[in-house]
Amino acid sequence: MKILAVNAGSSSLKFTLFELPKTEAIASGVFEKIGLKDSFYTIKYDGEKTRKEVYLKDHSVAVDYLIKDLVDMHIVSSLNEIEGVGHRILHGGAEFTHPVILNEDVVARISKYNELGPLHNPANLLGVEAFMKALPGVINVGVFDTGFHQTMDEEHFLYPVPYEWYEKYGVRRYGYHGTSHRYIYKTICNHFGKDNLKVISCHIGNGASITAIDSGKVVDTTLGFSSLVGLIMGTRCGDIDVAIVQYMMKKTGKSIDEVMDDLYKRSGLLGISGVSSDSRDVEIAAEEGNKRAILANEMYAQKIANYIAMYNNELGGADVITLTAGIGENSKAMRKAILEKIASLGVKLDEQRNDFRGEFRLISTDDSKIPVYVVPTDEEMEIALETYEIKIKNN
């Protein structure tokens, strides 16, 4: 069965076509600068990459090009081979806790949460509408970044603010990167042949979050009402004293939107290092002796270590720690820095095992109290698998 996994952004549309249940990626691609005159798209298939420069007026036009090329490039013999389309949707509030079949009514209900995910949700739904129009009769499934985290208990998802803020306005911890954390949890459970593990899942990239999971249920997660809190990220600040916002407004004369823009786009690794939001550039600068880059890396690793220690306590002792995403999968230096800072938990790094990039691998020693694995994430695969399961159930 062929399933498309789709991630629509405000001016982009990414896709991967999978053959399931073999979990084989057949083709992938991205449509960029949708709505702009210099728009283009690329498709990777059979070891080759094809680029076409065309005017993509909107997401519907992008989808039309996609489904045409799937046939013209002989990726599929006909569109009838595509039996499902899975869509990444950022926010489903507390209502959408599991993947759901999309129709006009469900799309309208999801749109109520657009104000909670203003940069992503409207764009995600544009992709949904485009595929519903282009492939009528094909099942469309929404997979929510927030969904996995809705298993948290009140003591973990509520904030210590006036309770009516939660009752009237939905102020609570929602959590993000849920599709990645779910995929990582399933993968590590399959590796151990168990389904009741206590896992600390560390999604460490330009955006970053850590999730504590017990027997498939989220206990706690670092991202909250927004994607601004928790760990230090590429350009986002993570945890700060909220009074700083008011203070900087008074000191600089900036509006609240301008200060929040600074916290979203000019903070994190970029703000501390002054070098870049890209951890690779910061790592190089640190190796060259740049003091602010060294400081940025130290702060980054320490914050991750602190949350791992806290979540180990919340879980009553983790069975395994996993590292994933761009930094977690590829930076042996950052992995080493993090593990050295959690030595008090009995975690021991095997430096020889840690000398690699982008593979599933154990990096702790055999006598480490908690084993640590690098587990490459595949959110598109998880979206496709969730869509496949719903398709099978509804046949």
| CB 157 within 8 Å of CB 172 | yes
Q: Note the pLDDT of residue 58.
A: 87
φ, ψ (nearest 5 deg) of residue 293: -65, -40
3-state DSSP assignment of residue 15:
strand
Nearest to 83 by CA among 379, 393, 387, 383: 387
Residue 318 structure tokens: 């983790």
Burial (CB < 10 A; 0-12, 13-18, 19+), residue 333, is middle
- DSSP state letter for 117: S
Residue 371 structure tokens: 């084993």
Q: Note the pLDDT of residue 23.
A: 86
Nearest to 345 by CA among 373, 376, 312: 312
Q: Note the pLDDT of residue 329.
A: 96
What averages of pLDDT result for each successive group of 10 residues across the chain (395 residues)? 89 91 91 90 93 91 92 92 93 92 94 88 88 90 94 95 95 94 96 96 94 97 94 95 97 96 95 93 95 97 98 98 95 96 97 95 97 95 94 83
Q: Count of alpha carbons within 13 Å of 20, Cβ hemisphere only? A: 25
Q: What angle do CA 156, 346, 268 make, to 5 degrees?
A: 55
**Residue whose token pair is 């320490």:** 302
Q: How far apart are CA 159 and CA 151, in angstroms?
A: 16
Q: Note the pLDDT of residue 22.
A: 87
Sign of CA dihedral 215, 217, 219, 221: positive
Q: How far apart are CA 59 and CA 38, in angstroms?
A: 15
Nearest to 318 by CA among 227, 230, 233, 210: 210
Q: Given 69, 145, 214, 378, which residue is catalytic?
A: 145
Q: Based on the residue annotation, tell me whether 145 is a catalytic residue of this protein.
A: yes
Burial (CB < 10 A; 0-12, 13-18, 19+), residue 33, is middle
Burial (CB < 10 A; 0-12, 13-18, 19+), residue 245, is middle
| CB 173 within 8 Å of CB 158 | yes
Q: Note the pLDDT of residue 394.
A: 81
Q: What angle do CA 10, 324, 148 make, to 5 degrees?
A: 65
| CB 87 within 8 Å of CB 390 | no
104-111 vs 121-134: helix crossing angle, rounded to 10: 170
Q: What is the pTM of this model?
A: 0.91
3-state DSSP assignment of residue 127:
helix
Q: How far apart are CA 300 and CA 286, in angstroms?
A: 13
Residue 211 structure tokens: 């999730």
Q: Note the pLDDT of residue 101.
A: 94
**Helix, strand, coil tally for the chain in percent (to 5):** 40, 20, 35
